[in-house]
Amino acid sequence: MEEKLQAILEAASKEAVELNARPDFEAFKARLVGPHGSLTDCVKSVGKLPKEERPLAGKAVNQIKKALEALFTETLQRIETAEMQALLGPAVDPSLPSAHFPAGTRHPLSQVRDAISEIFRKIGFTIAEGSELESEWYCFDALNTPDDHPARDEQDTLFLPEGLVMGNVDKKADERYVMRTHTSPVQIRTLLKEEPPLRIVAPGRAFRRDTVDATHSANFHQIEGLYVEKDCNVTDLKAVLDYFLQELFGSEVQTRLRPSFFPFTEPSFELDMKLPNLGKLSDQWIEVMGCGMVDPEVFKSVGYDPEAWSGYAFGMGIERLAMLLYGVDDIRYFYQNDLRFLRQFTS
Ligand code: DAH
């Protein structure tokens, strides 16, 4: 048996090098492993051997089968390469790398999003995710945003038709679904899912019923931040945001907190920054984000004791920061996929 197998392999190896066309190769393969092929016959005859001889014979058959398979692959590759070469002609070497192989680049908004996340990651913040589709409770009520707040106006917000059922978002019967108007509902989702102390940033899309112009887009991107600890105060908030802006814009950046109002923070601020080298915007205070101390009502809505826990939150627009960083004066450039624009951000 073993000799017979060796003979099959040897004959096959000799024959294979002579093959130059695919039909010949297929016929050759069939003569060996087809229904009446010589190797197939050997496989069948193993069953007829005395029981004690079968394991050894089976092993030998398998070895030859493997060797033949390698031979088939190699031969087919050689034939295909020759066929390709015949098609292309002698001037083309298909094994050479392409002369024109443009590498893609990450979108500038992704680059800025990742740069921001990385700055916070260095000081222990982790990345959290929420849902782009929310119920009114997550987007508004749990964030202490009452029914009569302008953000809940039909004119400002993209509500989904009533009667819809979505598997992954929990919603009470009398609530509506909304495309999230900000990333702040990730605060609620994180507070419910995790145990304090907490330190997260949440990048993602937000949606508003906005008319598109140089500074507005109905779909834009934000990064939310949330920090929850035992004794946390405005100094901690300011220190972290100062660090963040210095990392992003350089050590010359100046910052100030300006009193403001958000339903889910108390006190609330706008953070402004000033830089000497921002073109037309040099040496002016520019608003870059909203922030504040987590409102006790937010803690109550997720079952935390506001006497025991304190925290701060902040939220910023990625487009706005990208425009300042790169000196882009129209938000629409980010969405038009014009390669002349995008190629400037090759990293
Ligand atoms: N969600 C606010 C917006 O879209 C931004 C914001 C302000 C987020 C203050 C915060 C915050 O976390 O504390 O306008």
Domain ranges (residues) in the chain:
2-88, 108-345
Closest Cα to atom 6, ligand 1: which residue?
A: 315
Closest Cα to atom 3, ligand 1: which residue?
A: 182
Q: For the chain, what is the mean pLDDT?
A: 93
**Mutational test site, ligand 1, from 152, 157, 180, 184, max ligand atoms within 8 Å of CB:** 184
Could you tell me how far CA 110 lies from the centroid of its own chain? 9
Closest Cα to atom 5, ligand 1: which residue?
A: 315
* Span of 10-19, 70-79, 157-166, 213-222 with lowest mean pLDDT: 157-166
Q: How confident is the model at residue 116 (pLDDT cuts 50, 70, 90)?
A: very high
Longest dimension (CA), the chain: 96
- Nearest atom in ligand 1 to the alpha carbon of residue 225 is 12
- Is 172 a residue whose pLDDT tops 90? no
**Mutational test site, ligand 1, from 180, 258, 291, max ligand atoms within 8 Å of CB:** 291
Check residue 92 and give its pLDDT.
Answer: 82
Check residue 347 and give its pLDDT.
Answer: 65
Check residue 174 and give its pLDDT.
Answer: 78
Check residue 164 and give its pLDDT.
Answer: 75
Q: Has this prediction a pTM greater than 0.85?
A: no
What percentage of the chain has pLDDT greater than the value 70? Answer: 99
Closest Cα to atom 7, ligand 1: which residue?
A: 290
CA of 263 to the centre of ligand 1 (A): 9
DSSP conformation class of 276: S
170/175 Cα distance (integer angstroms):
10
Looking at residues 150-160, what average pLDDT do you find? 86
Name, in order, each residue with C-beta under 8 angstroms of 326's C-beta and a sequence gap of 6 or more: 108, 344, 345
Alpha carbon of 342 to those of 10, 40, 193: distances in Å?
Answer: 59, 59, 38
167/184 Cα distance (integer angstroms):
21
- Is 318 a residue whose pLDDT tops 90? yes
Looking at residues 8-23, what average pLDDT do you find? 94
CA of 286 to the centre of ligand 1 (A): 16
Strands 286-294 and 310-317: antiparallel
CA of 316 to the centre of ligand 1 (A): 7
CA atoms within 13 A on the CB side of 135: 19
Q: How confident is the model at residue 123 (pLDDT cuts 50, 70, 90)?
A: very high
Check residue 143 and give its pLDDT.
Answer: 97
Is the bond into 23 cis (omega within 30 degrees of 0)? no
Looking at residues 220-230, what average pLDDT do you find? 98
Strands 254-262 and 198-207: unpaired
CA of 250 to the centre of ligand 1 (A): 24
CA of 106 to the centre of ligand 1 (A): 27
Place of tokens 């960083």: 325
- Is 111 a residue whose pLDDT tops 80? yes
Closest Cα to atom 2, ligand 1: which residue?
A: 315
CA of 87 to the centre of ligand 1 (A): 62
299/295 Cα distance (integer angstroms):
7
- Is 260 a residue whose pLDDT tops 90? yes
CA of 223 to the centre of ligand 1 (A): 9
- Nearest atom in ligand 1 to the alpha carbon of residue 315 is 8
Task: Record the tokens describing residue 272, joined without a space.
Answer: 């402004």
Task: Record the tokens describing residue 130, joined without a space.
Answer: 């929420």
Alpha carbon of 29 to those of 44, 63, 76, 311: distances in Å?
Answer: 18, 17, 10, 72
Among 239, 232, 222, 243, which residue's Cα sits nearest to residue 265? 232
**Residue 313 forms beta bridges with which residues?**
226, 292
For the chain, the distance separating the N- and C-terminal CA atoms, rounded to the nearest angstrom, is: 64
Backbone torsion region of residue 206, taken as left when φ is above 0, otherwise alpha when ψ lies between -120 and 50, otherwise beta: beta
230/77 Cα distance (integer angstroms):
67
- Nearest atom in ligand 1 to the alpha carbon of residue 187 is 12
Written as one letter, the residue type at 232 is C
Q: How confident is the model at residue 299 (pLDDT cuts 50, 70, 90)?
A: very high
Task: Record the tokens describing residue 72, joined without a space.
Answer: 């088939």
Architecture of domain 108-345: 2-Layer Sandwich (3.30)
The 3-state DSSP class for residue 193 equals helix
> Are the C-beta atoms of 253 and 245 separated by less than 8 Å?
yes
Residues in the ligand 1 pocket, defined by CB under 6 Å: 182, 184, 224, 262, 265, 290-292, 313-315
CA of 287 to the centre of ligand 1 (A): 13
247/116 Cα distance (integer angstroms):
9
CA of 222 to the centre of ligand 1 (A): 9
